[in-house]
Amino acid sequence: MKYAILGIGQVGLRHFNAFKRIKNLSLIGFIEKNSKKANSFEKKFKIKRYKNLNKLLILNPDFVIICLPHNQRVKPIITCINNNVNLLIEKPLTKNINELKKILPYIQKKNKLIHTISFVHRYRKEVLQTSQLIQKNKIGKIRFISEMMISQKNPLLPRWIDNKNISGGGVLMYNAVHSIDKLIFITKSKIIRVFATYNNINNGIAVEDTITAILTFKNGVVANLLAVFAPYKNNSIWETKIFGEKGCIDLKIREGLEIHTNSNSKIYSYSDHYNKFGTYHNFYLQAKSYIAALSKKNKPFVNISDGIDNVKIVDAIYKSIQLKKSINVI
């Protein structure tokens, strides 16, 4: 099996490092506009750089990984689909709802292709364990969830994420989309209504670095989402508190989880797992899962519809902020 990558920045390299661990798989070419990055990658790994996607697709890759800035995805997505190429697309699927509408007809027309969106937190052991405990009814019916994603903004992140014309938004687009997907995965229910507001800690940027939203799910669950990109050092938190009728689960990304009921408590620690495999082992688990789906022609663990729903939810959140009222997710 062979593949190509569009964009070898920080996240593109994480995907490359994950897929290169898989046997009988080869990277046949890549596209990268930054000449310094491209020349370094080409020299180190002896993989040809292409400047034209159509020429790269002549090599007939089985799939293409798209890690381009948010505003540069529509055209390559359409080109790849028209050439019957499967896609792994870095989140979010598109910059906004209008760009989503441009690609939807092509996705629907070539619906036999197997696409996935890189919502990598679904592959983390602590998230999978939480989902299993909920499905086994260990805390009863879920009533409320508190989701907190608070961190210092990484100074190594690309500058374009603060440019709304390129990124489409700030902390919501870059990080909190993971929280939204994780909550949908855990609850096994769609988000149908949102109410949101924001404020900026750093007034020097044109996108939000702090956002809070109330999310209402079809099955009756209500969640409160808080996402912060602070411009200074702080105690980073990525925590999900899930309250059910019989107990609660406290999930901490890259750490583990605790489950508490009236009868007992149990701690699941994954510190040894992360010490052994590293922080980004979930990229490798995603790679394995996607290759298996392609090989067996099965629906992937994260489907293209998950990415579509996520864009619609994000659009509703931004509309809620703008109109200062609750918005139904279409």
Instruction: Please state, in angstroms and as integers, the Cα–Cα distance from residue 257 to each residue in 131, 136, 137, 270, 311, following that order.
Output: 11, 16, 16, 8, 28
In this predicted structure, what is the pLDDT of residue 261? 95
In this predicted structure, what is the pLDDT of residue 31? 98
In this predicted structure, what is the pLDDT of residue 181? 98
Average pLDDT over residues 136-149: 97
Average pLDDT over residues 248-265: 96
Instruction: Output the six-digit token pair for 166.
Output: 């390129």
Average pLDDT over residues 62-70: 98
Confidence of residue 186 (pLDDT cuts 50, 70, 90): very high
Confidence of residue 236 (pLDDT cuts 50, 70, 90): confident
Average pLDDT over residues 295-304: 96
In this predicted structure, what is the pLDDT of residue 47? 97
Q: In angstroms, rounded to a whole number, what is the distance separating the alpha carbons of residues 69 and 7?
A: 8
Average pLDDT over residues 312-319: 98
Confidence of residue 204 (pLDDT cuts 50, 70, 90): confident
Q: What's the whole-number average pLDDT of the chain?
A: 96
155 has pLDDT over 80: no
Statement: the pTM of the whole predicted model exceeds 0.75: yes
In this predicted structure, what is the pLDDT of residue 330? 86
In this predicted structure, what is the pLDDT of residue 151? 87
Domains identified in the chain and CATH numbers: 2-113 (3.40.50.720), 123-277+304-328 (3.30.360.10)
Instruction: Output the six-digit token pair for 42.
Output: 């080409």
Q: What is the pLDDT of residues 216-234, one digit of tens each?
A: 999 999 999 999 998 787 7
Question: Residue ranges of the alpha helices (H) in the chain?
Answer: 10-19, 35-45, 53-57, 74-82, 97-109, 125-135, 164-167, 171, 177-187, 271-277, 281-296, 304-323
Average pLDDT over residues 167-184: 96
In this predicted structure, what is the pLDDT of residue 64? 98
323 has pLDDT over 80: yes
Contact between 202 and 231 (Cβ < 8 Å): yes
111 has pLDDT over 80: yes
